[in-house]
A and B are shown apart, each in its own frame.
Chain A
């Protein structure tokens, strides 16, 4: 079973590097949104610093959401998902590998890019570790939750809007905690509590969402 998990990661990596455009898309979106804000709001350091936690998080959330629509689409269209469903391996393990690959190639680059953009918004350099921790814990939750919606809507012709409507309410707690931890850090308050909350949410998401994603895929494939 571990072997299949690993092989699926390799397969996803191959597919991703043969189509690098999709790798760059969410990153460009993330960078553009954040670069536009100082231009629109004005270059006041104090204001931008106050806004920066929310800005970084909203931009990251939208970038993840944007990349999710196509998560299972091509696998659905070329019949790969059917092969996963009829394979003797647990579907939950396969989808977990798929989402992990998706996060490694779209979520993780986002996290790595975020310090640069946060500095541009005037976030003090000593708060960068908190930013990284919050995004490292938060973006996988976004990917996992979004995959549930993507699995359910993959069979629909225009699932994009429905996916957004389904998933956004579930994203709100993550957004509040993620930007909350940065606000607290900016005010010099302790942040461990927020991060522990996000850690427990991530644990919960890793345990439960694969079951929901697998069920969603079975429904979509069985239609």
Chain B
């Protein structure tokens, strides 16, 4: 039981009187990677936001290591990392300042670690420019640089992480996510893109089939 990190029981999500998904049972163990797929508006983002603890489910419950999320919110917050459509990057701040603040919110990171993370996503030389002058793909990379920090938490919840990235960056990110799972981490993400590198424990959840 305890090796199940995150579990949902009878999870139902309703938005504007429309049922997005219902009675969803899901289990995530260490080392697993979950791709949530489905057509636009099928509730992929909503599911991720529910799991990250940003939204309350209409019905059903989310269990964190066997205990309902309500009492475990703090624990989940310490062991998960959420990057949404908007990654919380401030256009007026430099990539370095953005990362320093976002990591301070969770566990803190040294300036060296931040510089290395930025180098890992190919933003070396852009540390000191305001983010609004960067391209969309580069801004995406600033957010994703958090995944390259040494203290990154176990569970990554990523909403469309591949958006705006170039081919090389997509391949690199795929490799990075797979490596994270191989080390015992977990990734939940949404994408419309077909993954080339999959870890052993990959599984896919197709939303939007119940209603169709």
Chain A interface residues toward B at CB < 8 A: 3-4, 7-8, 11, 14-15, 18-19, 74, 77-80, 82-89, 221-222
A14 with B91: CB separation less than 8 A: no
User: With A14-B97, A79-B87 given, is the CB distance from A85 to B54 under 8 Å?
Assistant: yes
Q: Interface size bucket, B side?
A: 20 to 34
B88 with A11: CB separation less than 8 A: no
User: In whole angstroms, what is the CA distance A8 to B101 when docked?
Assistant: 8
Among A79, A83, A87, residue most surrounded by chain B Cβ atoms (within 10 Å):
A83
A79 with B106: CB separation less than 8 A: no
Residues of B contacting A89 with CB < 8 Å? 105
Among B84, B101, B130, point to the contact of A79 (Cβ < 8 A): B84
Among A7, A8, A19, A88, residue most surrounded by chain B Cβ atoms (within 10 Å):
A88
Is B85 part of the binding interface, using a Cβ–Cβ cutoff of 8 Å? yes
Distance (whole angstroms) from the CB of B121 to the closest CB of chain A: 18
Residues of A contacting B56 with CB < 8 Å? 222
User: In whole angstroms, what is the CA distance A83 to B77 when docked?
Assistant: 10
Is B26 part of the binding interface, using a Cβ–Cβ cutoff of 8 Å? no
B54 with A7: CB separation less than 8 A: no
Residues of A contacting B106 with CB < 8 Å? 87-88
What are the 9 closest A-B residue pairs judged by CB atoms, nearest first?
Answer: A79-B86, A88-B77, A87-B105, A83-B88, A79-B88, A80-B88, A18-B92, A222-B55, A88-B78
15 further A-B contacts with Cβ under 8 Å, apart from A78-B89, A79-B87, A221-B54, are: A7-B101, A15-B90, A15-B92, A18-B93, A19-B92, A78-B88, A79-B85, A79-B88, A79-B89, A80-B90, A86-B52, A87-B77, A87-B105, A88-B77, A89-B105
User: In whole angstroms, what is the CA distance A15 to B130 when docked?
Assistant: 11
B104 with A78: CB separation less than 8 A: no
**Per-residue contact bits, chain B 98-133, to A (CB 8 Å; 1 contact, 0 not):** 001110111010000000000000000000001000
User: With A15-B90, A18-B130, A19-B92 given, is the CB distance from A83 to B104 under 8 Å?
Assistant: no
Residues of A contacting B93 with CB < 8 Å? 11, 14-15, 18
